[in-house]
Amino acid sequence: MDALFYLLGVVIFALAILVSIGLHELGHMIPAKRFGGKVTQYFIGFGPTVWSKRIGETEYGLKAIPLGGYVKIVGMLPPGAAELADEVTTDTAGNQVVRVRKSNTGMFTQLISDARAAEWETITPADTDRLFYKMAWWKKVIVMAGGPTVNIAIAFLIFGGVFATYGNLSDPKPYTPVVSTVVDCVLPATEADRPCESSDPVAPAKAAGIEVGDRIVSFNGSPFTTWEALQREIRANDDGAATIVVERDGEELTLSTNTTVTARPTSETDADLTQVGFLGVSPTPDGLNTGGPIYTVEQMGRMTKDTVAALGTLPMKVWDVGEAIVGLEERDPNGPVSIVGGGRIAGETVSHEAFPVKEKTVFLLMLVAGFNLFIGLFNFIPLLPLDGGHIAGALWEAIRRGFARLRGRPDPGYVDVARLLPIAYGVASVLLVMGVVLIVGDLVVPVRLT
């Protein structure tokens, strides 16, 4: 049964990502067609075609490797006629001489030439006014930004729904000084999971008679309303006497004990141990913060900031995954994962017996939303072959033409993104290598929930 639930989680995640990819490509195709562009292909996946059907001038279909998708918009690359133009000069006798420029046969030039040729093989005279590179710069921006914007919109809708109904898992409300746990003995922080033994000292809270459900009102005469304030008082008390007032069943009781000194982490995010006063109680979480659209925008702004920072260290993180694959270090549980890794996490979530159905659903939704946010932001990176590279080219075209008009100079024409193809192929190669490393890592040294 666990294997069946695991498979169910993987399938749900895979379908959600495929739907996200399909919507991403629609974000490109719909505005391209609305602006008069010609879209000849709309495919989800790469590699051999599994199924396709032509509707009008567009072929829709699925391919065998479901790790992406694409739409084919006619005329992405200009013909480059300026590079092949003849140079007209005049000789000493006043006669015109036509000097044909020789084609550069360098590797990169040939690569660009081949790409142009492949692009223009499918273009007919009837397509002259429907070519993408001839669109106004702002139309190009809308077409290329449409895909990643859809992913961000998907993330917003999912995050917004979860935040409004269930709450934000990463934004819990402050703990309240209501006791949720009373430990029986004092154990070292490194052995906190083992059972108490007869040689272990009784925890001060246990000795004082504190019970689960008690609300701690004051500590050594100091009142407070938050767990953090109480924790500071306990830690600063070292092994001194402690007079504790608790509220139980509507009555206040005064209890006495002595706190003890033990090594504990300095905070939830810092594992360094420090000798502090110890009582032996845990607080009660007060739920999760909820909010509407404005709250969701604020939270996604924070996530965007964190994602952008993570993108800057992505190559190094992938390198660390490579070292984990060969056994040089442990896999970072907070490091990047591929879609394969996301599927494994989804499978473990659904098959985990300790998670209620509601929590499993919320976790899967957050996982899908997180992937969509990352995909959207990643595609805005201003490098070809990513969508952001085409957006950057369109914006540069607008700037260049604007400056030309201001200076009264001739129109410099369209930006030739084909000249950047060597960079695009280099970026694509790096992305392919990183993707393969992450997939292998997710198969060999996967990130697990526990």
Q: Where are the domains of the chain?
A: 1-38+106-173+289-450, 176-284
Domain over 176-284 is classified CATH 3.50.50.60: no
Tens digit of each residue's pLDDT (9 = 90 or more) over 221-236: 888 878 888 888 899 9
Average pLDDT over residues 17-22: 94
Share of the chain above pLDDT 90, in %: 49
The residue among 305 and 80 whose pLDDT is bigger is 305
Give the single-character DSSP code of 399: H
Tell me: pLDDT of 85 over 60: no
pTM of the model: 0.80
Residue 347: HSE in the Cβ half-sphere, 13 Å Cα cutoff: 18
From 79-88, 106-115, 164-173, 243-252, the region with the lowest mean pLDDT? 79-88
Whether the upstream peptide bond of residue 385 has omega within 30° of 0, thus cis, is: yes
How far apart are alpha carbons 270 and 286 in whole angstroms? 23
Buried/exposed code over 336-351 (b: 16+ C-beta within 10 A; e: otherwise): bbbbbbbbbbbbbbbb
Mean pLDDT of the chain, nearest integer: 86
**What amino acid positions are annotated as catalytic residues?**
25
Q: Which helix (H) or strand (E) holds 169?
A: none
Q: Are 397 and 414 in contact (CB under 8 A)?
A: yes
Tens digit of each residue's pLDDT (9 = 90 or more) over 268-287: 666 678 888 888 888 887 78
Tell me: pLDDT of 342 over 60: yes
Tell me: pLDDT of 100 over 50: no
Tens digit of each residue's pLDDT (9 = 90 or more) over 206-226: 999 999 999 999 999 888 878
Q: For residue 154, how many other CB atoms are within 10 A of its CB?
A: 22
The 3-state DSSP class for residue 278 equals strand
